[in-house]
Amino acid sequence: MTRVILVRHAQSTYNAQKRYQGSCDDSVLTEKGRSDAYQTGVALKGIELDLIYTSPLRRVQQTTVEILKGMEAQQEKRILTSCHLQEIDMPAWQGLTYKYVEENFAADYRCWKERPHEFQMAKPQVEKQLKTAGVAVATSVQQCFPVLDLYDRAHQFWQEILPHHVGKTILIVSHSGTIRALISTAIAMKSHQYHVLQQSNCGTSILNFPTSGHQQGKLQAMNITTHLSEILPKLKNGKQGLRLLLVPATGTAPHLIEQLAERLQTVTIDFILNTDLESSQQNPEQLLKYPKTLQIQVLRQDFPVIWQQILLSQHPVVPSNNIDLTRPTTGLVVACPSIIENILAHILNTSPQHLQLIPDTLSVIYYPLKSPTPILQAMNITDFNWGMGSEEDEGARERITPNSPFPIEFRK
């Protein structure tokens, strides 16, 4: 099996300023970015990496340096730079703020958000240089399809590297759009699903490729940010809508449920959905040790699909349950793993065989009020301190089980 760990670069100056970066190289890490990248390295400390692939852009190169410091890894560790790992190319928007683009390119912005596979943009073509000044001059303009071009690059990247690293563990440090395209092409998601996967700064994901020379893998973890002291990934696309916390509960690991319960005590839960399956009956009580506003038991095993249909109607208030979506609303769904797996597969529009769901973990789906597209914020969060790096954490790292998001051999 080939294991690929994917990390988005840390916070950059353009991230902090809420500007589109694209493939320009004007943005560098902030101080927070450097600190978070270092903590990501601490979290990955002890994982035996065979090699590292990075984007050539500065914000990624700086992130990689800090990660290696946190891992206490040799700087001469084999690092390869690939142009396929550059961020999505958006020449007309690079450097512009999100707000400016939304207000001044309304039609294009709507296409970008709702039909990313159809989104196109004018791209100047550099065809000659002024010999006297050595300055490149754009002599023509052509239309490019940023998302489709990005997915083509992702396909090419997998084709080039997977046959050469069978059975290896690889770290990829890249960009939000690029990692979304890499995950999507690996688990048979289509380009119109581009905005479904959230990628936070320093968010960490894992793909496993079980057979040599095959580009179809399994997603084992997605956008894990617990090493940045985040209980849950931060909400994007506004603060209105519904967030579902999905727990595939088996009842066989009560200590894991207890750990998740401790995590959720600081999260406001507005309602609970749980099936009447014997394996999940007691878990809501374990996860929530204080009264909540609403509890709903549903006997039908297909209740998640019906629930999603209600949510996608985008009513500000769901009348039957009096749930107000004009504010951040959080629901807890506790069900058997097969139901949770089907929910995730439905959201990603892929087959469950491409998902490596881990029981007694936590996955997060967000339904922004003003967006037709649900967002998978994270998948398979556990409450393990997976290698936080301090001496007192050594025991915790030794206790990591094969079912944690990082089931990789740790150095002794």
pLDDT, position 316 = 43
Q: How far is Cα 396 from Cα 365, in angstroms, rounded to an integer?
A: 28
pLDDT, position 307 = 62
**Given CA atoms 19, 23, 29, 32 in this order, what sign does their dihedral have?**
positive
**Confidence class for position 290, pLDDT limits 50, 70, 90:** very low
Residue of higher predicted confidence among 196 and 135: 196
Sorted by sequence, the CB contacts under 8 Å of residue 92 that are 6+ apart come out as: 121, 122, 123
Q: What percent of the chain has pLDDT over 90?
A: 52
- Is the pLDDT at 255 greater than 80, yes or no? no
**Confidence class for position 318, pLDDT limits 50, 70, 90:** very low
Domain presence at residue 161:
yes
pLDDT, position 75 = 62
* One domain for residues 259 and 305: yes
pLDDT, position 259 = 74
Distance of CA 363 to the CA centre of its chain: 11
* One domain for residues 210 and 243: no
* One domain for residues 338 and 205: no
* pLDDT 10s digits, 156-172: 999 999 999 999 999 99
Q: Which of 227, 261, 291 is the last residue of a domain?
A: 227
For the chain, how big is the Rg over CA atoms in Å?
Answer: 22
Would you state the structure tokens that stand for residue 336, as one six-digit string?
């058997």
* One domain for residues 223 and 236: no
Would you state the structure tokens that stand for residue 289, as one six-digit string?
């040790």
pLDDT, position 141 = 72
Nearest Cα to Cα of residue 141 among 158, 153, 126: 126
- What is the Cβ-side half-sphere exposure of residue 153, based on CA atoms within 13 angstroms? 21
Domain presence at residue 311:
yes
- Is the pLDDT at 272 greater than 90, yes or no? no
* pLDDT 10s digits, 174-215: 999 999 999 999 999 999 999 999 999 999 999 999 876 567
- Quick one: average pLDDT of 34-52? 94
pLDDT, position 350 = 94
- Is the pLDDT at 406 greater than 90, yes or no? no
Domain CATH for 178: 3.40.50.1240
∠319-324-328 over CA atoms, to 5°?
150
pLDDT, position 143 = 86
Q: How far is Cα 2 from Cα 169, in angstroms, rounded to an integer?
A: 6
Domain presence at residue 53:
yes
- Is the pLDDT at 91 greater than 80, yes or no? yes
* One domain for residues 251 and 187: no
Q: How many domains does the chain have?
A: 2
* One domain for residues 223 and 235: no
pLDDT, position 401 = 34
Among 89-98, 116-125, 130-139, top mean pLDDT goes to 89-98
Sheet containing strand 51-54, strands side by side: 79-81, 51-54, 169-174, 2-8, 204-209, 218-224, 375-381, 362-368, 241-248, 328-335, 271-275, 295-298
Name the average pLDDT for the chain.
Answer: 81
Domain presence at residue 241:
yes
- Is the pLDDT at 353 greater than 80, yes or no? yes
Domain presence at residue 142:
no
* Least reliable range by pLDDT among 19-33, 62-76, 230-244: 230-244
Q: Which of 210, 227, 244 is the last residue of a domain?
A: 227
Domain presence at residue 44:
yes
Which DSSP helix (H) or strand (E) runs through 163? none
Nearest Cα to Cα of residue 5 among 65, 55, 51, 39: 51
* One domain for residues 204 and 238: no
Domain presence at residue 300:
yes
**Confidence class for position 389, pLDDT limits 50, 70, 90:** very low
The answer to whether 356 touches 222, Cβ cutoff 8 Å, is no
pLDDT, position 266 = 81
Residue of higher predicted confidence among 331 and 18: 18
Catalytic (active-site) positions: 9, 87
* One domain for residues 245 and 339: yes
The answer to whether 292 touches 321, Cβ cutoff 8 Å, is no
pLDDT, position 55 = 98
* One domain for residues 77 and 205: yes
pLDDT, position 207 = 96
Kindly write down the DSSP assignment for every residue of 103-156, as one continuous string.
HHSHHHHHHHHH-GGG--EEEEEEEEEETTTTEEEEEEEEEE-HHHHHHHHHHH
* One domain for residues 281 and 305: yes
**Confidence class for position 125, pLDDT limits 50, 70, 90:** low
Task: List % helix, strand, coil for the chain (3-state, nearest 5).
Answer: 35, 25, 40
* One domain for residues 193 and 275: no
- Tell me the residue range of the domain where 371 lies: 231-381
* Least reliable range by pLDDT among 66-70, 358-362, 405-409: 405-409
The answer to whether 3 touches 408, Cβ cutoff 8 Å, is yes
* One domain for residues 163 and 250: no
* Least reliable range by pLDDT among 2-11, 14-23, 389-398: 389-398
Domain presence at residue 127:
no
pLDDT, position 412 = 29
